[in-house]
Structure 1
Amino acid sequence: MRKNLNKIPEQVMATIAAIPGNEVIVATVLKVTQADLLRGRYRNLSLGFENNALVFEPSFVPNPTIGRYAKANTAGKTIVRKDLPKVYKTIYMGERPIFGDWSKGSFSLNQTRHIYQKQFKHPRHLAVAIELLDTTDEGGEKLFTITVSVDEVLDKTAPDFEESLLFNLNVLQEATYSADVFSASVFAANATVADYLKTLNVAWEIFPPGERDKDLERILGKYSKVTEELKRQIQERYDLLFSIKPTPEIILGASGVRKYFGARFAPDLAVFENLDYGNALYVMYENWTELSKLSRTEVLSRPEKDYTRIEHKRGWENRLKQVVASKLGTDETPPDPIPVAA
């Protein structure tokens, strides 16, 4: 297959038509030789060869540098809708120093422009799962048979099925140069499709704040690998969130390899982000009791009116404070629920 697919291949559609039931999954089966591993052929999958055995991560999010779909998977994508009429839009341009001097304070700069409408496609944060099926010896070297699949069950009856299918095919295509479709039950093993779907749910944990050091220890305990950079980021985010009044509750979320951290300021106001990847945080306006019942992919496909997305650009801290204060009724400036990407 080509590196990227512009449309769904006919053979894939034929396979889908022959699959009984409505649930399918994008996956491929690879034969990986010892020589392939030593040459680094499967570097996109982070496969290694140590102590005469295959070494791999069972689940991971593809590196956004390997292709445009991998990038869109972690950072999202902005589409300029030139097919729609232009609109007047007030755009937040960031913070500016008063009289050019930051020591005198800053102010929010907003400009009104006549622009094309933009549609932001939220990142899907799809992970790729690897399973070792068989190990054999051929000509004195190891041969490994593995499955590589995208961790999302697709419903053939869903209105966005073909769009999601093409996206998932390309995510796997960029990682493996190979992609196909299978019945989801093949990968569910002894579990039902419903059981598989439960693994995609974001498990939210909300707890009241205590002492700062103990809170940070509890948050960092959710991560398998704690680097100095991760520790610094969480400390800074923690201090920022608790500088906003009223005092929030800490929220932690997990879905497979993804970890979420943030704060809840009200039943319908939460701020969270994933520090492993992505360059933005989300202010979410939906009720968290209902939100926690949705799968991760359903959360990310919520309408844009349910989000304010704030990129980590200069002045993002003040933008966050402005949005939260507005929602809590402590600021007269209403937030723009549909963010305009720069």
Structure 2
Amino acid sequence: MKFKQNHFRKTPEKLLFELSQIKSNTVIVSTKISVSTEDLTDGKYKKWNINSIKDLDDKSVIDFIPSKKEGPTSKINLVGKTVILRDLPKEDKSWNITGPNFGDYSKGTHTATITKPVFQKEYELPRDIHLSIKQIDREQSKDEIQLQIWIQEPLHRDEKNFHDDLLFSLNLLQESTGNCGIISTSQAENDKLIEEKQKDWEFLPVGTGNIRSKILQKLGNKKEIPESSQERIDYFTNPPFEIVGHINGINSFERYIGLELPNGIIILENFNYGNAIFVFKKDFDSFSKMTRGELIKRKSSDTERIPHKKNWKINLETVLGFNRK
């Protein structure tokens, strides 16, 4: 369905009516659009991972994650969101700063820990939702190709956050294509839009698997890796504290790698788009059973967010209660 605006503050009435006509408990956000073969040839849809018409000829499914420049929902999808809870009491928060000795950097530097009361926060993880594309049919004129674009993850009407998740998914599709819609999962299955659900995480005990190789795969095996990313790769490959294993994100969490500590704490990192490290007070068995929605919307008491600033390693180790000797 075509809409003039790029972003919705609430679900449009037309789509709510469309939803009311669907009897199934689960739905899929999906739309169909026509694109010109000329635009495809000119590379207009490279941002959708379509480099040429040939990419669509075999009707294979192409996945892409919308750029954060597409709109506010696309940005949250990639980098997450922080909500300041101004209606709750402040809590003491500690962080570290590095400064010169006696005001002179030539005499070296030192790190000091500062503690002050701050507002509590809730952190929303990047959702990393992919949009899937496939060719439906070539128009009779041969000048246009009809595409189906959809989000594979079904939305369940009986879930508490259904309408929030529906609006998020509609906006993600709308910001990228200018179109959005809703179909039943039975229709999606008939159209072969839904893949069989697979697990999202695998646990790799210490000493098993090539962790550095898995991280580089998540980065697309780039030949040149920024120094800041290389530092994090080295840290997660060989952390300075005891761990019982690595956690490898797969399928919908394929961009993530994690560490589990002996006390059950989970440290999660996204090497592609993550602008922070997340610390979860959960053992892997409990963590791996959490749905995407549950994981994304963890409360602040269960989650710590460590931005990738200059002292990120010290701040992370402070949260963990780990002291370097």
Q: TM bucket by the smaller chain?
A: 0.7 to 0.9
Structure 2 distance, partners of 1:224, 1:57, is 21
| Residue of structure 2 equivalent to 1:296 | 292
TM-score, structure 1 normalization: 0.79
| Distance verdict in 2 for CA 1:5–1:167, change over 3 Å | same
227-236 vs 68-77, which moves further: 227-236
Instruction: Tell me the residue number matched to 2:182.
Output: 181
1:308 to partner: Cα distance: 1.1
Over residues 285-324 of structure 1, what are the superposed CA-to-partner deviations in whole Å (9 max), with x where a residue is unaligned? 1121122233334322333322211111121110111122
Instruction: Go from structure 1 to structure 2 and tell me whether the alpha carbon gap of 1:78 and 1:192 turns closer, same or farther (over 3 Å shift).
Output: closer
Structure 1 residue 246: Cα displacement: 2.2
Counterpart for residue 7 of structure 1: 10
Q: Percent identity?
A: 24
Q: How does 1:1-342 map to 2 (within 5 A)?
A: 1=3, 2-38=5-41, 42=45, 44-50=47-53, 58-81=62-85, 84=87, 87-97=89-99, 98-100=101-103, 103-112=108-117, 118-138=121-141, 141-189=142-190, 196=196, 198-199=197-198, 201-209=199-207, 215-220=211-216, 222-223=217-218, 225-230=220-225, 235-241=230-236, 242-256=238-252, 258-266=254-262, 268-325=264-321
Rounded to whole Å, the distance in 2 between the matches of 1:306 and 1:267 is: 14
Q: Distance in 2 between matches of 1:219 and 1:174?
A: 30
TM-score (norm 2): 0.83
**CA RMSD across the alignment:** 3.2
| CA shift for structure 1 position 111 | 3.0
Answer with 248-257 or 266-275: which moved more: 248-257
Q: CA deviation at 1:182?
A: 0.8
> For the structure 1 residues 81 and 225, does the alpha-carbon distance in structure 2 shift closer, same or farther, using more than 3 Å as the test?
closer
Task: Tell me the distance in 1 between the aligned counterparts of 2:152 and 2:306.
Answer: 27
Q: CA deviation at 1:257?
A: 7.4
- Aligned partner letter, 1:228: K
> What residue ranges of structure 2 are gaps of 5+ in the alignment?
none
Deviation at 1:261, TM superposition (A): 1.7
Q: Number of residues paired by the alignment?
A: 316
SS of the residue 1:209 aligns to = coil
**Aligned partners of 2:169 and 2:254: how far apart in 1?**
18
Shift of 1:250: 2.6
- In the aligned structure 2, how far is the partner of 1:287 from the partner of 1:52? 42
Report the Cα offset of residue 39 of structure 1. 5.6
State the 1:145 CA deviation.
Answer: 1.7
What code does the residue aligned with 1:208 have?
V
Runs of 5+ unmatched residues, structure 1: 332-342
Say if 1:267 and 1:94 are closer, same or farther in 2 by CA, change over 3 A: closer
* Aligned residues of 1:202 and 1:296 also touching (Cα < 8 A): no
Structure 1 residue 229, shift from structure 2 partner: 4.3
Aligned residues of 1:75 and 1:279 also touching (Cα < 8 A): yes
Instruction: State the distance in 2 between where 1:106 and 1:54 align.
Output: 58
C-alpha spacing 1:132/1:192, structure 2 compared with 1 (3 Å): closer
Contact 2:129 2:252 in 1 (8 A): no
How big is the shift at 1:67? Answer: 1.0
- The amino acid that maps onto 2:166 is L
Please say which of residues 19-28 and 147-156 is displaced more in the overlay.
Answer: 147-156
Q: Is the 8 Å Cα contact of residues 75 and 122 (structure 1) preserved in structure 2?
A: yes
1:90 partner letter = D
Q: Provide closer, same or farther for how the CA distance between residues 16 and 253 of structure 1 changes in structure 2, counting only shifts above 3 A.
A: same
Further displaced range: 229-238 or 91-100: 229-238
